[in-house]
Chains A and B, each alone.
Chain A
Amino acid sequence: MAVNLYWMHCGGCGGDSMSMLNAESPNIIETIHELDINVLWHPSFSFAPPADHRRLLDALISREVGLDILCIEGAVIRGPENTGMFGIFEGKPKKNLVAQLADRAGIVIAIGTCASFGGVTGAGATDAVGLQFSKKDIGGFLGKNFRSGKGLPVINLPGCPVHPTVLMGMLTAAARGVSMDLNTYNAPLEYYSMLVHQGCTRNEYHEYRIEETDFGQKGCLFFHLGCQGPLAHAPCNKFLWNNRNCKTRSGVPCNGCTEPDFPRDDPYFYTPNIVGLPIHLPDGVNRPHYLAYKSMAAAAAPDRLKHRKTEV
């Protein structure tokens, strides 16, 4: 049985669709064929004329055509003053269409941080929120009690953009009816219970607290350059990006783009600190013990790291 999928763009940059094209083993083509996914509509790639699209929407809304998977990319724009007129479709607020389709869908997947939590679009002045969360608060556009046809909350796949491997995995789970365990923000634990920091090639430097104080030095980016790898939940250093690398490995601090409060108010490329000690420590650590451990680690640092002989 073919699985019907409808993809919708709301308040976002289109980056998740671009990220999707970068998936590998399986790639998007293989995923669609293997799972017999029928892409009813994707705004960047579908070729049906506007009138046919309208007919499709009518058929989905009247349930004449079943909607198994609804993918929404971008935050739901509610402003100004809850009219939704900052984001229009056919002269009407697009948010109405989001609500109608979500109500008909077997499973609703929020693709990317904007759709999940509001993200960069949510930081603007258009009263844009995630589908079921607004930053860390449950509710968002569809409300706390929303459940899709299969009885599920909106499944969040945060990331700015979403990692393509995560997207392929979740589409597969959705198409095959495999249930995924979720974290407090309704994101699959399989992908979001690990930290970006895990697997970074700078871990050796992190461990012994050998730090970069400016770009291009070999070292860890946590204590001075604002790396959020030890706080951000995502598999960037497990799956890597473009099947090749990731920001922290190459020397670009993680900016925590999978977190509900992305983008945070703190400046990027800088670690807020009190007397030289970061305010935000790695996820869940005990502060006094961590500080004691780090100063001992720095004292134990081997020369090869102190002299930046070890490649990253």
Chain B
Amino acid sequence: MINIPLNRVEGDLELHLELDGDRIANSWSSGIMFRGFENILRGRAPRDGLVLTPRVCGICGTAHLLAAAKALDMLCGVIVPDNAVMTRNLTLLAEHIQSDIRHGILMFMNDFINPLYQDQPFYSEARLRYEPFRGTSVIKAIRETKKILEIIAIVGGQWPNTSFMVPGGIATTPTFNDMVGCDYIERSFTGWYEREILGCSLERWAEVTSLADLDTWLEEKPDHTQGDLGFFIRCARMTGLDRIGGGHGNFISTGLKDLQPYSTRAVEPLLMSSGFIAKGEKFEFDQALIAEHVAFSRFEGYGSGLHPFEGITIPAFDPNPDKYSWAKAPRYNDHPAETGPLAEALIDGDPLFADLVRQQGPTAFSRELARFTRPAKLLPLMKKIIRTIDPKAPYYRPVGDIPDGRAYGLIEACRGTLGHWLEVQDGAIARYQIITPTAWNGSPRDANAIRGPWEEAIIGTSVKDPDNPVELGHIIRSFDACLVCAVHFCTRK
């Protein structure tokens, strides 16, 4: 048995492993920090979630804000103006893109400068590119992601942690000139992304629809091998990332079909569909089938899974060795499911990723490839939104007092499916449950003792040096782990 703390994930994670020789025979993923939000929101005013929930996570606060606002919209039964829907989504997409790039370049790629790879042909170049705070790609990624975030500041005040979305729309009123700024930033970012990350145009990349296409693309031009994407593909293949990190093969995504839920002026019908995939078969998404288990989580037990509307979160103080994580175990129709850019692409029927998974199964490589290339899909959509927003039309529809009742907001955050479930009683929050993407991916075992997605994904992996388990780093980071947000807001009962 060995214990391994993992850095370069947001928050604190330790893996407990049982090794058979150098292969992982069994694994336990342990969220080792509990921030105990259960008392924060209970009893507060319904709109307070708009200020407090973005503080769950410093990287995806805009996603939390959107989920919180959508839950309140539902409670009010308000039709949000098109302008507000578009502006909210514009900021969500900007946040996705910043996160995809920062994760890829600042947190994922520097595993390739691990001392274990010293003799690999890519090592010295990887070091030049990805050394923290010094690497050439690092410096550029910091500069460019900072720019794309300016869009959120222009229309929403600041990033991280603004609260500009409110039930009924948004509190801000972006002007024509604001859109000019957004337009410019999107164009210049796209130029950089094409030049430095893809090494080709968005259009050329869109033609890559199979594993064979990917190989052709890679060999086509030096630009393709030299971009960060090409470099990633080469390193990943040399280190066998396309052979590790499988998992259950279950995927969940709420899609991006909410992009224009109430629209009268079509931006684009819909970008990505929602659903659940088990063993290659796709099912309609139904939030009623979500439940959270605590059999192996450090919370007081209840029989089996509870839907978040019924969720309770009481930390268990007695040291029960079976309970090994401060994260709960969300399940969809009793199945664990992974979520994130790969799940999104598969559920949306993206041909490249469907082919990759058909031929290789889900891997650390396919997950990170999906993340690196997601901006190629999102940037054109951002442009459309920016040019469709009409600064003279309303951004907000007054809603007055928030009525009592239950509602939820479900969206795709940068790391995958995010849900807020809210109950308001007598004008105050009675219950607030959040299920984050990392709660899905990094969950411990459930009441049926079934492992969570990344616990499963590392089974069978060979770890050459337990003091330097770089293989595990690749796999866990391919899920873009964010432990700070695998926490719970709820009522203590």
Contact = CB atoms under 8 A, between A and B. Distances in A.
B285 interface: no
Interface stretch (B48-56, B348-356, B439-447): B48-56
Interface string B47-66: 11011100111110100000
Interface in B467-487: 467-470, 482, 484-485
Contacts of B132: 39, 42, 45-47
A126 interface: yes
Interface stretch (A59-67, A139-147, A165-173, A247-255): A247-255
Contacts of A21: 102, 142, 145-146
Nearest to B316: A80
Contact of A14 (B57, B106, B162, B395): B57
Given A242-B150, A244-B153, A11 B33 contact: yes
Nearest to B149: A242
Interface string A238-278: 00011111111111100101000001010111100000000
A259 B138 CA distance: 34
A129 B5 CA distance: 24
Contact of B492 (A9, A15, A125, A236): A125
A207 interface: no
Given A29-B142, A45-B110, A242-B150, A15 B55 contact: yes
B428 to A, nearest CB: 9
A279 to B, nearest CB: 16
A91 B16 CA distance: 11
Interface string B304-326: 00000000000101000000001
A252 B45 CA distance: 17
Contacts of A9: 11-12
B157 A252 contact: yes
A241 B158 contact: yes
A123 B44 CA distance: 12
A49 B145 contact: no
A47 B51 contact: no
A284 B131 CA distance: 49
B44 A267 contact: yes
A14 B438 CA distance: 15
B8 A43 contact: yes
A89 B10 contact: no
Given A11-B33, A160-B161, A268-B47, A49 B133 contact: no
A300 to B, nearest CB: 26
Nearest to B107: A44
A46 B150 contact: no
B303 interface: no
Contacts of B175: 311
Contacts of A120: 40, 52, 55
A123 B106 CA distance: 31
A46 B7 contact: yes
B484 A12 contact: yes
Nearest to A270: B45
B48 A50 contact: no
B3 A91 contact: yes
Nearest to B155: A250
Given A21-B142, A27-B143, A46 B163 contact: no
Contact of A252 (B6, B61, B107, B164): B164
A53 to B, nearest CB: 7
A251 B172 contact: yes
Nearest to A31: B133
Nearest to A16: B58
A35 to B, nearest CB: 12
B200 interface: no
Contacts of B61: 13, 15
A216 interface: yes
Contacts of A39: 132-133
Contacts of B4: 50
Nearest to B127: A47
Given A13-B57, A29-B133, A88-B32, A244 B492 contact: no
B458 to A, nearest CB: 15
Contacts of B35: 11, 77, 86, 121, 124, 126, 128
Contact of A241 (B44, B58, B157, B395): B157
Contacts of B39: 123-125
B251 interface: no
A216 B171 contact: yes
A36 interface: no
A86 B33 contact: yes
Q: Which of B40, B158, B160 has the most CB of A within 10 A?
A: B158
Interface in A1-27: 9, 11-19, 21-22, 24, 27
A77 B37 CA distance: 13
Nearest to B53: A120
B470 A215 contact: no
Interface in B1-39: 3-8, 10-12, 14, 32-39
A160 B35 CA distance: 16
A80 B32 contact: no
A72 interface: no
Contacts of B211: none
B160 A47 contact: no
Q: Which of A13, A215, A216, A268 has the most CB of B within 10 A?
A: A13
Given A29-B133, A45-B133, A247-B158, A87 B12 contact: yes
A297 interface: no
Nearest to B177: A311
A178 interface: no
A51 interface: yes
B118 to A, nearest CB: 13
Interface string B334-366: 000000000000000000000000000000000
A199 interface: no
Q: Which of A47, A94, A120 has the most CB of B within 10 A?
A: A47
Given A11-B33, A86-B36, A125-B492, A244 B7 contact: no
B11 A126 contact: no
Q: Which of A32, A44, A89, A249 has the most CB of B within 10 A?
A: A44
Interface in A67-104: 77, 79-81, 86-91, 94
A11 B40 CA distance: 15
Contacts of B8: 43-47
Contact of B152 (A91, A242, A268): A242
B154 interface: yes
Given A51-B467, A250-B157, A45 B107 contact: yes
A284 B12 CA distance: 42
Interface string B79-112: 0000000000000000000000010001100110
Given A43-B8, A86-B33, A214-B396, 14 more contacts: A13-B61, A13-B484, A14-B58, A15-B61, A28-B133, A47-B113, A77-B33, A77-B34, A87-B32, A120-B40, A215-B168, A215-B170, A244-B150, A244-B154
7 contacts: A12-B484, A17-B58, A86-B34, A88-B32, A91-B3, A244-B150, A252-B162
Interface of A: 9, 11-19, 21-22, 24, 27-29, 32, 39, 42-47, 49-53, 77, 79-81, 86-91, 94, 120-121, 123-126, 128, 160-161, 214-216, 236, 241-252, 255, 257, 263, 265, 267-270, 311
